[in-house]
């Protein structure tokens, strides 16, 4: 079993040993990602960076990853992406990218688009997020960040906060953590709490989960606070939003009884879920986490193109 | 006579031996275009990819071609291109690209824009399509595809189908094939048949041409079926369009008496001119044809920058 | 004191010896910028090209500069830039670019954006123009052009023409020239003449300055005519604009008594300030000036990333 030639569509498609291989490989990429060492292992290879929906952070970190390994990039983004979606079938667009490059990173507004792309592509497809579907590279960089910062993943208590109902990032992360035996708390207003099927899946894996709306209590004993944005649009009345939103934000006051080594993560961009006064504290790891997108995606690009050795 | 430093504006500017040189060079580029071999022959060179009108397939294959040869790319596309057109003269924009790069690929909505660009540029200009004008790299990749798939070009019978009145691709192709002695059929609704001056030019070159609207009959004896899109907008009434459109589409039924080695081509994107059920048949060569855009453009970039040796 | 790691926000932050170092380094970059020699000194390094406001000429010359030195580029431009501005704080965007690359070139509609960016970035920030604020790389390439064409800067008489009130380019240039002892004339309609504080600053440096609206008279004795655009929008009535605009344009007639070695510069794009009939004359140096943006920016990228040696 090798990752060479594999499509990376869903974090659930990867076995735990495969995830380990990716994180180990990512570890070896950090110095190159920082520009401190030079690599040419993907010299001559081309990444198609297909962003049919804007996601600057994901796009740029894929492109940076490819360049850091000596490869080249061709890009579809912005308006051009939207009109392409209207102009021809996804199948034909993917076949084009397949003909012009060696690997495709795709972000698409439609759930299932990455899986569909994989059926039309001979080269590996890496899912950069498909609608309300999957976003496996986000989960991989989240796991990498926890492991880098805390040494292991299974022994931590991770509290996931925010829009847990619609936030695909949190579903993938919760399921991946559950497979590693990590206990969790889910903190959200009732209306956007974690869907029952995810909670059930997590519990079936023998992992303890707490469902709550009391952020402060969870901050005090957690090893990781994973923040996400709560979108106003989820609430029927802006009034309702304003009533609850404050209770799901992190500021200095919220942190006063936190464990010394507790880390705060966020997939970014943030609106106001984390107050900027928190940024200089040693808890704040969301900028490092964003950086970790580069070595993690370097690892994936290397592994699907060149294999493990 | 060398191609080094030449502008590639119109397929008619190239002699048959020059076209042969380009196709031979393209042949040698295939493995590099597939990422199986590595080239650095354009290391340090820069392509300006100026797309003042969207054409993702053409743009990406130019950029892939440049990267595969070790070169770099600077790009204008999307909104930025449109506002540049309004903001300054084409002459000043081209001089800018000229100052920042070694070769320019340009696509522009205005007929004659590439020729005009060539007069202001010291570096080679490659026309990526100018309005209702020329699109020479499309013709070259079409010729390359026929030669690769069928061994030669002059001995084939090529049937060109669709919007032959306004489709620049088909005019250039017909004239180039005529120079090689290839017999042709032109299949289209009367209102969008091949313009008389093209038909006359082709016949003057001593080539036999059939004008018809019976696609099935031509499919049965042709070596190449070259499909293009019929645009609804060409018809005064959508009703009129619907009446004729079906007769100019390829599906499995249409293919049942075709020659075994007959190949189907299409410049893409397609709408519904070719049914997806045709894609897996050995007749379908439109995806290979799209790929062939890369080695053909690699050959051109190499030849105009470095010459024949 | 070294330029390694420095932010280039304001031309005023650079000492005269530092400016000399940059211009000397730029001189050594010319052949590489022309594609005649190859460099790999920034191999493996990445430039973030962040254009939150369109400026194709500046963007492409930064990107060309980075590619000519063997580096890679990740780009934000067009629509994506505008929506990013709305979506998150500049601080968070800059931290992202910082994590994904080694140096940032930024253009932003808000004055002070580059300085602010520098406070959040560990890597060097190069200001590519911030609103009505600074545009130091334009000034550096202007100085480089004068030195290349005329041998030195301090001994010349430079006449700056056009919208001197709002044109940031002209303010930075005037102040930099004053530091070098260059005498100047400022030619503009009264309503958009050079702000008094700039005139005072220049005079305090002991430099002689003439304020006038008679372009012809200045053309006759100047060594450099630096043209800029006069925007219709500055005038309450289009009528008022039409009355004065003609007097601030260069055509062949205006040049008939000019010094033989007089050079005409313009930051481009131009509208109609310089008649195209002037382009082929030896006075016209605005296209060379645009090219000079590449070696100047190569010098800056090299110096802030690798230092002087």
CA–CA separation, A80 and C123 (whole Å) = 31
Which among A107, A108, A179, A302 is annotated as catalytic?
A107
Nearest to B68 by CA among B288, B286, B291: B291
pLDDT for residue A78: 82
Q: Which of A56, A231, A289 to mutate to test the interface with C (most CBs of C within 10 A)?
A: A56
pLDDT for residue A133: 78
Nearest to B298 by CA among C70, A100, A71, A122: A100
CA–CA separation, C140 and C173 (whole Å) = 9
What is the nearest CA distance from B287 to chain C, expressed in angstroms? 29
Note every long-range contact of B230-235, with CB atoms under 8 Å and residues 24 or more positions apart, other chains counting: B230/B162, B230/B163, B230/B188, B230/B189, B230/B192, B230/B273, B231/B163, B231/B166, B234/B163, B234/B165, B234/B166, B234/B191, B234/B192, B235/B191
Helix (H, G, I), strand (E, B) or coil at C81: helix
| Contact call for residues B59 and B128 (beta carbons, < 8 A) | yes
pLDDT for residue A170: 93
Q: Which of A223-237, A266-280, B44-58, B113-127 has the lowest mean pLDDT?
A: A223-237
pLDDT for residue B263: 98
Kindly report the length of chain A. Answer: 309
CB neighbour list of residue C309: distance below 8 Å, 6 or more residues apart:
none
CA–CA separation, B197 and A201 (whole Å) = 70
What is the nearest CA distance from C257 to chain B, expressed in angstroms? 27
| Average pLDDT, integer, range B51-70 | 96
| Contact call for residues C265 and C227 (beta carbons, < 8 A) | yes
What is the nearest CA distance from B110 to chain C, expressed in angstroms? 20
Inter-chain Cβ pairs, chain A and chain B, closer than 8 A? 64
pLDDT for residue A81: 82
pLDDT at A80 over 90: no
Structure token digits, residue A286: 């969301």
CA–CA separation, B212 and B188 (whole Å) = 7
Q: What is the mean pLDDT of chain B?
A: 94
Give B4's pLDDT tier (boundaries 50, 70, 90): very high
pLDDT at B233 over 80: no
Chain B nearest-CA residue for A71: B67
pLDDT for residue B84: 83
- Helices C286-306 and C56-68 pack at an angle, to 10 degrees, of 50
pLDDT at B108 over 80: yes
CB contact under 8 A, A99 and B291: yes
Report yes or no on whether pTM surpasses 0.80: yes
pLDDT for residue B56: 94
Q: What is the mean pLDDT of chain A?
A: 94
Q: Which of C44, C48, C76 sits opposite A38 (nearest CB)?
A: C44
pLDDT for residue C245: 80
pLDDT, tens only, A139-191: 999 999 999 999 999 999 999 999 999 887 899 999 999 999 999 999 999 98
pLDDT for residue C238: 82
Domains of chain A plus CATH, in order, are: 11-134+290-306 (3.40.50.1370), 137-289 (3.40.50.1370)
For residue C184, CA distances in Å to B15, C149, C245 come to 56, 18, 21
Q: Which of B74, B87, B89 sits opposite C60 (nearest CB)?
A: B74
pLDDT, tens only, C68-98: 999 999 999 987 887 788 888 999 999 999 9
Q: What is the mean pLDDT of chain C?
A: 94
pLDDT for residue C8: 97
Q: Which of C39, C45, C55, C60 to mutate to test the interface with B (most CBs of B within 10 A)?
A: C60
Q: Which of C96, C122, C304 to mutate to test the interface with A (most CBs of A within 10 A)?
A: C96
Which among C6, C25, C45, C58 is annotated as catalytic?
C58
| Average pLDDT, integer, range A10-38 | 97
Give B242's pLDDT tier (boundaries 50, 70, 90): confident
- In terms of pLDDT, which residue wins out, A272 or B74? B74
| B→C interface, C-beta within 8 Å | 43-46, 48, 72-74, 76, 78-80, 83-84, 87-89, 91-92, 95-97, 99-102
Which among A40, A86, A190, A246 is annotated as catalytic?
A86
Nearest to B120 by CA among B112, B132, B130, B131: B112
> Which residue numbers of B are catalytic?
57-58, 86, 107, 135
Structure token digits, residue A128: 């950069």
| Average pLDDT, integer, range C266-282 | 95
pLDDT at B235 over 90: no
pLDDT for residue A87: 80
CB contact under 8 A, B76 and C56: yes
pLDDT, tens only, B25-42: 999 999 999 999 999 999
Q: Which of A45, A76, A99 sits opposite B290 (nearest CB)?
A: A99
| Average pLDDT, integer, range A127-131 | 92
Structure token digits, residue A125: 């497809």
pLDDT for residue C174: 97
Q: Which of A140-144, A236-240, B44-48, B157-161 has the lowest mean pLDDT?
A: A236-240
Nearest to B49 by CA among B68, B79, B72: B72
Q: Is A34 a catalytic residue?
A: no
Give backbone dihedrals phi and psi of A111, rounded to 5 degrees, phi first.
Answer: -60, 135
pLDDT for residue C149: 98
pLDDT at A214 over 80: yes
pLDDT at C287 over 90: yes
- In terms of pLDDT, which residue wins out, A243 or B106? B106
Q: Judging by beta carbons within 10 Å of its beta carbon (0-12, 13-18, 19+), is residue A280 exposed, middle or buried?
A: exposed
């Amino acid at each position: 079993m090798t990752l060479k030639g594999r499509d990376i569509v869903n974090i659930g498609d990867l076995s735990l040993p495969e995830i380990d291989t990716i994180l180990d490989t990512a570890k070896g990429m950090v110095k190159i990602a920082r520009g401190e060492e030079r690599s040419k292992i993907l010299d001559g290879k081309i990444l198609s960076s297909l962003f049919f929906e804007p996601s600057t952070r994901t796009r740029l970190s894929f492109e940076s990853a490819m360049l850091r390994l000596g490869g080249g990039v061709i890009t579809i983004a912005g308006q051009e992406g939207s009109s392409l979606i209207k102009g021809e079938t996804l199948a034909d667009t993917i076949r084009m990218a397949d003909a012009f490059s060696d690997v495709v990173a795709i972000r698409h507004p439609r759930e299932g688009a990455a899986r569909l792309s994989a059926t039309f592509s001979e080269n590996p497809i890496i899912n950069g997020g498909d609608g309300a579907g999957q976003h496996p590279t986000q989960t991989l960089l989240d796991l990498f960040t926890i492991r880098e910062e805390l040494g292991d993943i299974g022994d931590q208590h991770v509290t996931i906060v925010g829009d847990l109902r619609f936030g695909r990032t949190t579903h993938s992360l919760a399921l991946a953590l559950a497979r590693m035996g990590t206990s969790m708390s889910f903190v959200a207003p009732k209306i956007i709490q974690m869907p029952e099927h995810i909670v059930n899946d997590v519990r079936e894996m023998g992992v303890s989960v707490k469902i709550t709306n009391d952020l402060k209590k969870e901050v005090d004993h957690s090893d990781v606070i994973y923040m996400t944005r709560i979108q106003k649009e989820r609430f029927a009345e802006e009034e309702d939003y304003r009533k609850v939103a404050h209770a799901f934000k992190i500021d200095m006051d919220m942190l006063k009884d936190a464990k010394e080594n507790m880390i705060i993560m966020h997939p970014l961009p943030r609106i106001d879920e984390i107050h900027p006064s928190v940024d200089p504290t040693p808890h704040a790891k969301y900028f490092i986490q964003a950086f970790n997108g580069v070595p993690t995606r370097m690892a994936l690009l290397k592994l699907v193109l060149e294999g493990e050795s």
